[in-house]
Chain A
Amino acid sequence: MLDFSMTPGAFGFEAWQSRWSILSGVGVTMASSGLTIVFATILGILFGVALTYGWWWLRLVIRLYVDVMRGIPVLVLILFTYYGLALFGINVPAFWAGVIALSGFATAHIAETLRGAVQSVPQGQMEAGKAIGLRFAQRLRYVILPQAVRRMLPPWVNTCLEIVKGTTLLSVIGVVELLLASQQIMARNYLIVDFYLLATVLYLVINFTIAQIGGVLERRFSYLRY
């Protein structure tokens, strides 16, 4: 196990041979999680604001969406999206089906954390904004959201980690991300433990980096205290 010599059949040699597959797997993992994080954050903030301040019917619809998304396993969502979209004549590649499903799932989580963050901003802030004559959009933009975003930073970083971990499920519908790329290499050379260890280390590096960046952001934005 973990023989680093450069003879055929040893881990060192095989890893070097498959360096491009591994790197493209890392690339697909990062691209799918990056896109999902961007989509889910934008939609999640919109949904979260609607969930707090929307008309009652809009709140009801989004509450239903959030609760349904949180009660269904991501894998089922991914499979449903992958097979279901084709029925409606939308033939997207597996990669995009996966990104759509993951985004739908993460949007629900971010909407819920944003709602919590917005509601934790003291009522007086909204009233003070009203008092100096800001319109609703301005109160949201300049008063509420800057404070709410700071509060939702820790759970948001957690959701990002969940998304990166969730991209492994895309391997089930045939997206060659890091996990499936490693498995394809294992199918060639039977170095099962070695390449799972390599994938483990790469996932740890990616997630640890995100957690560290999250920590830096939190410290950067933590000057605000109540």
Chain B
Amino acid sequence: MIQYYFDWSVITRNAGALGEALLLGLGLAVVSLLIGSVIGLAAAYARLSGRKWLAWPVWAYVEFIRCMPLLLLIFFVYFGLPEFNISWFDKTESFVLTLSLYAGAYMSEVFRAGLGSIPKQYVEAAKAIGLRPWQRQRYVVLPVMFRITLPAISNNLISLFKDTSLAAAIAVPELTFVARRINADTFRVMEVWLSVSAMYLVTAYTIATLLRLVERRYASIR
């Protein structure tokens, strides 16, 4: 058995950097979830529109993203776009773009299921009181759908937050990247990776708990 002396001062000295990195990761996940939700909602409506020329490309997009390793997508966007003379994204923006496209595919499946599970009577009742098509969506269908899909959305947020660790591969200074840097500087392997794992774990479960509270608050429809 080897001797290993823990030296937690490495962590306390870098606490600020680690905290900032964690917040950056959370921010990346939230922004990607928001953009991804817009993409996903549009994709879900396109899938359900019944028009083949709309539904088919969306199906291809969703299946393509779901069969693709995220890391490959990240590299493809980051190194591939400049080849087409599109070089106005920095590494963080390029990562957000990739993660949003990735989230969009998963969110579209969530929203498609959510839209499909809305009772037909709701729409009929909305028609009966004379709401226009967009009013029916805005005031009846969408609010109900968001309540139904909230658990799935919170699952997606957590897995997106975990996926932000891949941004380290293109040197976005989020938690995993900072952890690797500290690890390379000091080689305090156990301290660094134990704390970083704990930070991911605690954040993921905090998100889960908070969103469960939100669900309980808004889950008035059964």
Residue on A with the closest CB to B194?
A80
The reply to whether A72 and B162 form a contact with Cβ atoms under 8 Å apart is yes
B183 to chain A, nearest CB (A): 7
Cα distance A214–B169 in the bound complex, in angstroms: 31
The reply to whether A168 and B72 form a contact with Cβ atoms under 8 Å apart is yes
Any chain B CB within 8 A of the CB of A87? yes
B69 to chain A, nearest CB (A): 4
The reply to whether A179 and B196 form a contact with Cβ atoms under 8 Å apart is no
Cα distance A158–B183 in the bound complex, in angstroms: 33
Residues of B within 8 A of A20 (CB): none
Contacts between the two chains (Cβ within 8 Å), count: 102
B111 to chain A, nearest CB (A): 19
The reply to whether B183 and A83 form a contact with Cβ atoms under 8 Å apart is yes
Any chain A CB within 8 A of the CB of B10? no
Binds A, one of B90-98, B125-133, B144-152, B198-206: B198-206
For chain B, the count of residues having a C-beta within 8 Å of the partner chain is: 37
The reply to whether B2 and A196 form a contact with Cβ atoms under 8 Å apart is no
The reply to whether B165 and A161 form a contact with Cβ atoms under 8 Å apart is no
The reply to whether A161 and B168 form a contact with Cβ atoms under 8 Å apart is no
Binds A, one of B34-42, B73-81, B135-143, B214-222: B73-81
The reply to whether A84 and B189 form a contact with Cβ atoms under 8 Å apart is yes
Contact with A along B61-85 (1 / 0, CB 8 A): 0001011111110011001100110
The reply to whether B68 and A196 form a contact with Cβ atoms under 8 Å apart is no
Cα distance A2–B5 in the bound complex, in angstroms: 55
Residues of A within 8 A of B69 (CB): 164-168, 179, 203
The reply to whether B76 and A71 form a contact with Cβ atoms under 8 Å apart is no
B32 to chain A, nearest CB (A): 15
Any chain A CB within 8 A of the CB of B88? no
Residues of B within 8 A of A207 (CB): 67
Residues of B within 8 A of A165 (CB): 68-70
B21 to chain A, nearest CB (A): 12
Closest 8 CB pairs of A and B: A73-B165, A168-B69, A80-B193, A71-B201, A165-B69, A73-B162, A207-B67, A71-B204
Known contacts A73-B164, A88-B2, A179-B75; 16 additional CB pairs below 8 A are A71-B200, A73-B162, A75-B168, A76-B176, A76-B179, A79-B183, A83-B189, A84-B190, A87-B189, A168-B70, A193-B80, A200-B68, A204-B67, A204-B68, A207-B67, A208-B67
